[in-house]
Structure 1
Amino acid sequence: MNTSTPAFDLTTQPWVMMHLLDGTTREVSLADAFALAPQARAITGELSTTGFAVTRLLLAILYRAIGGTVTSDSWKDLWTAETLPISEITDYLARHRDRFDLLSTTAPFFQVADLHTSNNEVTGLESLIADVPNGIPFQTTRSGTALASIGLAEAARWVVHAQAFETSGIKSAAVGDDRVKAGKGYPIGTGWAGGLGGLFAEGSNLRETLLLNLVGYQREAEADPDLPPWETQPQTAAAATRPYPLGPVSAYTWQKARIRLAVEGERVTGVLIANGDRAVLVNQYDVEPMTGWYYSENQAKATGKIPYYLPARHDPGRSFWRGIASVLPNVTQPQSSSGNPRSRVPGVVQWLSKLSVLETLPGDFIVRLHAVGVVYGTQNATVAEIIDDAYSLNLVVLSEDHPQMGRAVEWAVDVASKVCWALGILGENIAKAEVGDAPGDSGKTRMAAARAEAAAAGYAALDAPFRTWVASLHDEPALPAARAEWSTTVRRVVRNIAAELARTAPPQTVMQRPMHLMCIPLAQKVFDQHLNTYLPRTDLPTTDSQTKEPVHA
């Protein structure tokens, strides 16, 4: 093959899926993705994680195209321009065009050209396509001919996705990988992005989104620059000698897997996936801005490594907004026993706060914080669930110059948590009125389930109102009115749920009975007491004076 004329040049061939502002979706090349960014809503794909992975790829290209250095002044120049620096991006892609050929025989994009096993095996596409659980194909709508082959554009997206979110588990034993034992590539963990609680900022179009996530960054050691794989020597089956990324560019393009596509004509019919480079995420907050971090006391004690921060991954059973305090730069984070903050705010949010403080962006600029992540199955060997959640707010809420804004949001979530706790107790007490004061195991199970269901109903009902409320916050003088509005909303919502719980309770729970001292009126009285305690009508409390959740006896 003549490598000067790529068989599938990702810089000019359409493969990036874009959702345009007019509501349509189209595939475009890398060059066109940047050129059309002002007209696009977002990068999309087969999964929300595909859009996240490809967006990170675009950011890596943008960083390198402008020289790898971003300061507040250079960022402001980029922001005030009508378009992205298309000339620099085009020139950069042209210089590295040969490394963006998906089918190159010497250095295929994000792959290893001569990757093979001792018996030259190739697996089916279920190993590459994340929405087809490997080994349990009955859990997908893809089957038969839909899995027999895919087009080159879709294959390119899945290759990018695999490098970011590839599962752990046993991999093919690649010849040349000295980690192979007994004919197997033993687990080394998931892809780099798979270990994150992914978070990025969205603007009104893709151009704004890319720039909002172009976090200020300067490499001090120019002799050891932060490079993507297409600017380094083509990889082999062996693990890389560099164990960590040197900055966001190498983090966004970390090669967790060694991949080679099997191609027939213009269709991909199979794939070989072997182990690549382990994603070691401990204390990588300086190079990875798209996640929050939590301090691990246990690991710090076990390893002696202080501090010891790991990515704060998303909880699939909890709406993103419930953990908003951990991503606010203007909220004081609790301290660990070693004196380190228990959490670290995502770098992208810190950057947004700085832009607000410098007044590079106005306080009423609306930013959408978008959470993306993967929940893996047993031993991280399968993709079990995709997390995709977002909420919008005014930039002033993130500003370190306006701590009262952050405290107001923290208070609102605290109020929601307490009243949902109270709803849970109400549900439990109504169940207790049904099963009696000395319930057996089945009765205790029923009470626990009722408590969880009632609390979940509260959070579900408050989800949309909270998103609307937090998006309405715009300045500190308006906070008392905003707080009063939230208190009124919460009280109305939870009282409606409480009334419905009482209405649907069994008739025998209305009155006290022998061995059934709990009844609906008493359960409602306890709930009202909790509601009046944990839904204050006074001025906004300080963080230190916030009441902790009570222990229900």
Structure 2
Amino acid sequence: MDVGEDLVQGDWLTAVDVGGVVRATGLLGALTGAHTIRRVELPVPTMLPALLRQMLLPVVLDAIGVPRTRQEWAERFHRGRFSDAEVTQLTDYLKRYGDRFRLSGKHPFAQVASLEALSGETKPAALLVPSTASGNQVPIFSSLTEGDELLLTPGEAVLWLIHTQCWDTAAIKTGAVGDPQAKNGKTAGNPTGPLGQFGVIVPVGRNLFETLLLNTPILPAGLDPVDRPQWAWDERPALRGWKPPAGPEWSQRPAGGLLDLLTFQSRRIRLISCETEQRPRVHRVIVSAGDRLAQTPQWELHAAWSYTAKPKTGQIQQRPRRHVSGRSAWQGLGAFLALDLPVGGDGPYASVLLRQIGDLHYDGALPADYPLNVEICGLEYGNQSAVVENAIGDSLPFPVASLLADNEWVRAALLECVSQAGQVGRALDNLNSDIRRASGGDPLPRDKGQRPSSRFLHSLDGTMRRLLAGLRTVGEDEDLLERAQLAWELSVRAAAVREAQALLAAAPPRAVVGRIVKINGKEVVYRSGKAVGIFHKKLTEILARLAGDGSGSGETAA
């Protein structure tokens, strides 16, 4: 498409339909044909929430409205597609705001048309793409250097534009002409983009229509009448004193409602294109300071929470959680399944949407065997959040029954499985420490080296995902659930014994004789045989079903 063409009709999104056919589509085609699209092809996992929040979801919510009851939500879901009346609403809506969904022009999408840098300079388009070298962002593995020109197609430019609005680093931004808060040609003190403040959790359905609905909150009072998305900024009440996102000025402020939060403009951006042999390409960009979100609201859709029963002075009682790098999503299932606020103590609290899915299952709107998936993603920032150090992305099959608040049997089984994996991992780390002491060394420092537990938990990844997928269809069959847990324990024990055998095989012969170590004034004997015995005793305690079933063998790693 040409840079000046609109995003409503232009074929800038790549969609995979339910039959596996790849096709190009625009915003209107993606929404009206959402039931036929299995997924949208995106370059990185962090792009999915950016596309949902900055464009697809707010268009649907503003054009059609939110469901006010679970019954209304269920009616939409069981219809399986947008009705003819809703398609008309979407079409009319995008026709009404069509001039705001253009890559260039008087009101370019998510940009400031007249944005100019105080220095008069522009930056390479690579500034929008965290995985390429630009400024302080210098990835170790990148096919481009800062001196190379990155040419983005219009479709790529739109995606990285909205990604920047959601995930940009907190690095110093270019000072914009007309921004009174810019000093010495720049703006410091910027926070990261709104999604960079927490670990994102997105429920995903069988097609784009179901994904949109699973990410739609049920609001009994509907949307706030004065809540507007960023492209309708001129319809917001002037008395609030907010700076329009179509200009260079910005303010620190709370979110003014769901639509405002989803389309929050954390940066002022202008894309600059050039003509090439491959048609127009975006090659330069200006990225300046944008609105600063005062606080992630507790009605944020895609965050799980950490609850503090007795917060210190100035501390927020409920804070959004971040994902942990190097850990599979299933290892954090406790935060996904915490459906009630912790009573009398600190702990996790599940996201709004996952709690809502549990309520919908209770009402019969979502069957227990519905093939729900949960996508998680996040960015880890370094050096005062000015650079991206790591990206986190994972996807889990998710049993809907585990989200039922008043029926804990599936949820309790899952949490027990996760807990067992963690306990066995710690037992392996203790075994490793004991073998190292017996060999004449010291345990690994807390923040150094690779631990056996990491390898062990990684080896269980496929097993846990099969378990989660299988529990979608467990229904009310408690015997089946018990057999699934027994099979899990067998897999855990086999993986743990393999890891223990590898640790023992790597130990020097002197570990058999061992040595005496004085700890806290007391002499302790460390030998490899003793360490293995302690490990297997702990393994038996953790995997209690195997002991009771007689399936556990008495073999030792020695």
Look up the match of 2:95: 94
- Give 2:417's aligned amino acid: A
> Aligned AA for 1:500?
A
1:368 paired to 2:373: yes
Report the 3-state secondary structure (helix = DSSP H, G, I; strand = E; otherwise coil) of the residue aligned with 1:110. coil
Q: Distance in 1 between matches of 2:420 and 2:269?
A: 49
Q: Measured at CA, do residues 539 and 526 of structure 1 come closer, stay the same or move farther in structure 2, by a change above 3 Å?
A: closer
Task: Give, as a single letter, the amino acid of the residue that structure 1 aligns with 2:409.
Answer: Q
Deviates more, 1:95-104 or 1:179-188: 179-188
Q: Structure 2: how far apart are the matches of 1:528 and 1:421?
A: 13
Secondary structure class of the residue paired with 1:537: helix
Aligned residue number for residue 217 of structure 2: 215
SS of the residue corresponding to residue 190 of structure 1 reads coil
Residue 497 in structure 1 maps to residue 506 in structure 2: no
Between the aligned partners of 2:545 and 2:101, the Cα distance in structure 1 is: 60
For the pair 1:421 / 2:426, whether they are aligned, the reply is yes
Structure 2 match to 1:74: 72
Paired position in structure 2 for 1:543: none
Given that residues 426 and 523 in structure 1 are in contact (C-alpha distance below 8 angstroms), is that contact kept between their aligned partners in structure 2?
Answer: yes
- Indicate the larger mover: 511-520 or 38-47: 511-520
* 2:295 match: 281
1:196 aligns with 2:192: no
When residues 513 and 377 of structure 1 are mapped into structure 2, their CA distance, relative to the original with a 3 A threshold, is: closer
Q: For residue 501 of structure 1, give the secondary structure of its aligned residue in structure 2.
A: helix
Contact 1:261–1:268, Cα closer than 8 Å, also in 2: yes
DSSP-derived class of the 2:375 partner? strand
Distance 1:310 1:147, change over 3 A: farther
Deviations 1:46-92 (A, max 9, x none): 21112221122211111111124543222122112242232221121
- Report the alpha carbon displacement of residue 115 of structure 1 after superposing the two structures with TM: 1.2
Question: Aligned partner of 1:312: which letter?
Answer: R
Q: Alignment partner of 2:187: what SS?
A: coil
Is the 1:112–1:260 contact (alpha carbons within 8 Å) kept by the matching residues of 2? Answer: yes
SS of 2:313 mapped into structure 1: helix
Following the alignment from structure 2 to structure 1, what is the Cα–Cα distance between the partners of residues 109 and 247?
13
In the TM superposition, residue 100 of structure 1 has moved relative to its aligned partner by 0.5
Q: Please name the residue that 1:460 is paired with.
A: 458
In the aligned structure 2, how far is the partner of 1:511 from the partner of 1:48?
A: 51
Deviation at 1:444, TM superposition (A): 4.3
Contact 2:67/2:73 (<8 A) preserved: no
Q: What amino acid maps onto 1:364 in structure 2?
A: D
| 2:304 aligned residue (275, 280, 292) | 292
Closer, same or farther in 2 for the Cα pair 1:308/1:501, shift >3 Å? same
Contact between 1:102 and 1:108, CA under 8 Å: does it hold in 2?
yes
**Structure 1 residue 343, shift from structure 2 partner:** 2.5
Q: Which amino acid aligns with 2:536?
A: D
Q: Percent identity?
A: 28
One of 234, 240, 257 as aligned partner of 1:247: 257
Which deviates more from structure 2 when the two are superposed, residues 399-408 or residues 157-166? 399-408
Query: d(CA) in 1 for partners of 2:531 and 2:446?
Result: 13
Question: Residue 127 of structure 2 aligns with which residue?
Answer: 127
Asked whether the 8 Å contact 1:137–1:143 carries over to 2, the reply is no
1: distance between equivalents of 2:6 and 2:231?
13
The CA deviation at 1:507 is 2.7
Say whether 1:262 aligns with 2:272: yes
Q: Which runs of 5+ in 2 are unaligned?
A: 235-243, 518-523, 549-558
Instruction: Tell me whether 1:308 sits opposite 2:342 in the alignment.
Output: no
Given that 1:397 and 1:406 are in contact with CA atoms closer than 8 Å, whether structure 2 keeps it comes out as: yes
TM-score (norm 2): 0.86
Q: Structure 1 534/469 Cα, relative in aligned 2: closer, same or farther at 3 Å?
A: same
Q: Residues 480 and 539 of structure 1 are in contact (CA less than 8 Å); yes or no, is this contact kept in structure 2?
A: no
Following superposition, the deviation at residue 322 of structure 1 comes to 1.0
Partners of 2:269 and 2:287 within 8 A in 1: yes
RMSD over aligned Cα atoms:
2.7
Which is further off, 226-235 or 128-137? 128-137
* TM-score, length basis structure 1: 0.87
CA 1:313 to 1:17, structure 2 compared with 1: closer, same or farther past 3 Å? farther
Residues 267-320 of structure 1, C-alpha deviations (whole Å, 9 max, x = no match): 2120000010113334x121x11110113579x4231x6x53221111112211
Tell me: CA distance 1:115–1:70, structure 2 relative to 1, closer, same or farther (3 Å): farther
Distance in 1 (alpha carbons) for counterparts of 2:164 and 2:68:
28
Quick one: distance in 1 between partners of 2:150 and 2:427? 53
| Structure 1 partner of 2:435 | 430
Q: Is the 2:154–2:282 Cα contact (8 Å) retained in structure 1?
A: yes
Is 2:550 aligned against 1:523? no
